[in-house]
């Protein structure tokens, strides 16, 4: 891995969620989205969150990010209570949030500009991260000149430049075609193996969760609670033929049965 990326890497953080409840909506029509969630995630773990559509997976991610306030309970990252957003908790959405008027390298470097770093230092770190995500040579392009998968790579690089100790990902590959999606999954695992941040990854795709995760948290219907915490004992690095492993197939059956029960 490049020198700049090594210098900007951070120590991964632990996450502790206790008795978390979240209600959303106007005061006269509050909807209970999460109820009594307890979750512990170790530093450097890759955890995927599965559950029925609309059950509160994205709400959990937003609460950990600090964008959604808890109605009850607490969230702590390395024993520090989460009560507001912080660059050390990076958030990647399904649709990229790149500035269309900025070149790729300036999109990636933007977070460092907000920290007051000099332009040459910002661009050097941004160029290193673009190499890390396989986009070396695309510095001067604009987002509209890139494919969907390439735009998501830029988005990931832009989050990583802030040295997040926790990387929160909300179905980041959901809008991509199957081939690009698998390529992005493999790329993400390669990046994670080098950066080793703690990852919480929301998906509705069981195979994606099994391919990526150390653990799968299965949520119930809304208001969501954890109904299963499933270890994924598949060896790393994961390959395409990982999906043929008997353990992969067995856990997939277990997840499908749990989803049927929650439905």
Q: What is the mean pLDDT of residues 201-207?
A: 95
> How many angstroms separate the first and last alpha carbons of the chain?
44
Sign of CA dihedral 8, 170, 83, 110: positive
Give yes or no for a contact between 164 and 89, defined as CB atoms under 8 angstroms apart.
yes
Rounded to an integer, what distance in angstroms lies between the CA atom of residue 132 and that of residue 34? Answer: 36
Estimate to the nearest angstrom the gap between the alpha carbon of 36 and the chain centroid.
22
Tens-digit pLDDT profile for residues 24-36:
988 888 889 999 9
Q: Count CA within 13 A, CB hemisphere, residue 106.
A: 9
Q: Would you identify the CATH topology of the domain 3-97+166-262?
A: Rossmann fold (3.40.50)
Query: What per-residue confidence (pLDDT) applies to 9?
Result: 55
Question: How far apart, in Å, are the Cα atoms of 97 and each of 32, 143, 172?
Answer: 28, 10, 11
Give yes or no for a contact between 213 and 46, defined as CB atoms under 8 angstroms apart.
yes
Query: What per-residue confidence (pLDDT) applies to 109?
Result: 93
Q: What is the mean pLDDT of residues 165-173?
A: 95
Number of H helices, E strands in the chain: 8, 10
Tens-digit pLDDT profile for residues 5-24:
444 457 899 999 999 999 99
Give yes or no for a contact between 200 and 217, defined as CB atoms under 8 angstroms apart.
no
Domain ranges of the chain: 3-97+166-262
Tens-digit pLDDT profile for residues 210-238:
999 999 999 999 999 999 999 999 999 99
Query: What per-residue confidence (pLDDT) applies to 127?
Result: 94
Give yes or no for a contact between 13 and 198, defined as CB atoms under 8 angstroms apart.
yes
Q: What is the mean pLDDT of residues 71-93?
A: 93
pTM of the model: 0.93
């Amino acid at each position: 891995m490049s020198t700049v990326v090594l210098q900007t890497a951070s120590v991964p953080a632990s996450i502790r969620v206790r008795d978390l409840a979240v209600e959303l909506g106007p005061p006269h029509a509050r909807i209970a989205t999460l109820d009594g969630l307890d979750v512990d995630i170790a530093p450097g773990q890759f955890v995927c969150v599965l559950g029925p559509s609309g059950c509160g997976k994205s709400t959990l991610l937003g609460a950990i990010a600090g964008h959604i306030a808890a109605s009850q309970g607490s969230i702590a990252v390395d024993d520090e209570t989460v009560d507001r957003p912080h660059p050390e908790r990076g958030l990647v959405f399904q649709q990229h949030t790149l500035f269309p008027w900025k070149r790729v390298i300036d999109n990636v470097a933007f977070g460092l500009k907000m920290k007051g770093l000099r332009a040459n230092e910002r661009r050097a770190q941004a160029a290193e991260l673009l190499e890390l995500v396989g986009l070396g040579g695309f510095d001067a392009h604009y987002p509209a000149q890139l494919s969907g998968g390439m735009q998501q790579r830029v988005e990931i690089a832009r989050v990583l430049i802030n040295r997040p100790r926790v990387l929160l990902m909300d179905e980041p590959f959901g809008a991509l075609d199957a081939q690009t999606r698998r390529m992005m999954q493999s790329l993400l695992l390669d990046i994670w193996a080098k950066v080793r941040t703690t990852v919480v990854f929301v998906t509705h795709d069981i195979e994606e969760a099994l391919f990526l995760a150390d653990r799968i948290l299965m949520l119930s219907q809304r208001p969501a609670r954890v109904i299963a915490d499933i270890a994924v004992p598949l060896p790393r690095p994961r390959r395409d033929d990982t999906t043929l492993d008997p353990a992969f197939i067995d856990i997939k059956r277990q997840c499908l049965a749990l989803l049927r029960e929650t439905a």
